Each structure stands twice: as structure tokens, then as C-alpha cells.
Amino acid sequence: MTAVQGTAVDIPTEDGIADAYLAQPGDGAAHPAVLLFMDAFGLRPHLRSMADRLAGAGYTVLVPNLFYRAGRAPLFDLPDFIDPQARPGTWKQIMPVMQALTGERAMRDAGAYLRWLAASPAVADGPVALTGYCMGARLALLTAGTYPERVAAAAGFHGGRLATDKPDSPHLVAGDVTAELYFGHADQDHSLPPEQIDRLEQALTEAGVRHRCEVYTGAPHGFTQADTAAYHREGDERHWSALLDLLARTF
């Protein structure tokens, strides 16, 4: 694991300025880029630590505050250990902000993040990889289909609503995806029931997308987030192994 440099950066978008965290190896060289899409709890110390871990493995990692339209991070009054059941008011804060981030807005922003990475001296030439968590898994899939020429690989973990019956469902971009995809689904996840898992698998297979979808038995929704009550150590370790394997194959 190499030394890591972490900095706060601002990214111009079509709708304003997105604050973000950039982690990179401390050697001053350009490295392959990973765009990390946050979960609904937002840009916070745990996500910065995840970015640092990826940077220590040799990648330049950008973690944007996807909710920048509502303000700079941190937006929510979160404890060091997040247990929404213990603080039911947490979701009342988060839901309106999350619902305001439409797919159209998110993909407009994703284009800005990808352009910023392409222009950064910290990033090696070529396409990038994506990884996303909870709502971020949905955005990773949408981004892979919206910007196929810029995305070489994308991973999503404990994602919800990946293959709904709505016209804006993420799985409908499968035909445009050229990246290799990996999904680690949470077991018995109410936001991704078995019929959606099957629908996603079918869409990716029929589109000829290189992919692997796995259900992590016993892992709850949010299993990678160590600062929450949903954390599941076995599932998290499996996630890191799968993600780093995907990145190694990509770059």
C-alpha cells in the first residue's frame, strides 16, 4: 500500500459547483481513475477512507458530493455511527434531497465529473472505472450506459431499483454498455427484490455485456458502509476483493 494524498476539490458542472474529495497515490504520477458514487448518507469520512484505500492500491479516486445543489458536504446532521432506526429523522432529512437528484441531472453531472478527470494531471489517459454504493450503484450503471466511450468498468454494491418496470430504469441502458460490469447484491434487499435481480441479469446477458452479478448471502442493504448499522464485515471484505479484481483486469 503506497502513501496517499487526499485533497478537497471543486468541480464545475452545468448547474453549479460540486465539492468533491480526490485521493491519489503520493508519487506525483498519473494513475488510472476511479469515480466513486456515494450512498445517500453523502460525502463523509468513511467514503474518504474508502477512496484512500483505492488510492493506496494505485488509483486516482474522485468522490463527488452528488447533492451539491443542496449545499456543500456535510449536508446532514449525522452521528459518527449511523443507525437510521435509532434516529428516524435522518431519512426525513435525506429523502427530499435524494429525490431531487433525477436521472437526467445525475447524468449531466456525471459528464462533468468525467470531463474533470480527463483534464486532471493526476489521471492517466484512457477510460475510467466506476464504483457505486446503494443509490450510487444505480448511477454507476446509468453512467456506463450514458458515457460508454469513457467507462471501461463499473461496479455496484447493494444497489436498489436497478431493474424496475419504469421507463427510466437503469437496466434499460444495457444495450449501450461496453464496459465490464460487476454487481454485489445484498441478500433479501427490499430495494432490489429477486425479480429485479433476474431482470437485470437477463438484460445484461441479452445485450452481450461482460458482467457478473452475485448475491451476498446474509449481507444487508448497505453492507459495505462501516460507519452504519448495516455493516457486514464478510460482505465488505468480499466487496473489496471483487472490486480490486475488476480494477486489476481493467487497468
Active-site position among 31, 109, 134, 211:
134
The DSSP line for 100-145 is HS-HHHHHHHHHHHHHHHHH-TTB-SS-EEEEEETHHHHHHHHHHH
Catalytic pick among 189, 232, 236, 239: 189
Whether 213 is catalytic is no
CB-neighbour burial class of residue 195 (10 A; exposed 0-12, middle 13-18, buried 19+): exposed
Nearest to 50 by CA among 33, 41, 62: 62
Sign of torsion, CA 129 144 159 11?
positive
Count the helix, strand and coil residues of the chain and give each as a percent rounded to the nearest 5: 40, 25, 35
Catalytic, out of 221, 232, 236, 239: 221
* Residue 38 CB coordination number (10 Å): 25
Active site residues: 134, 189, 221
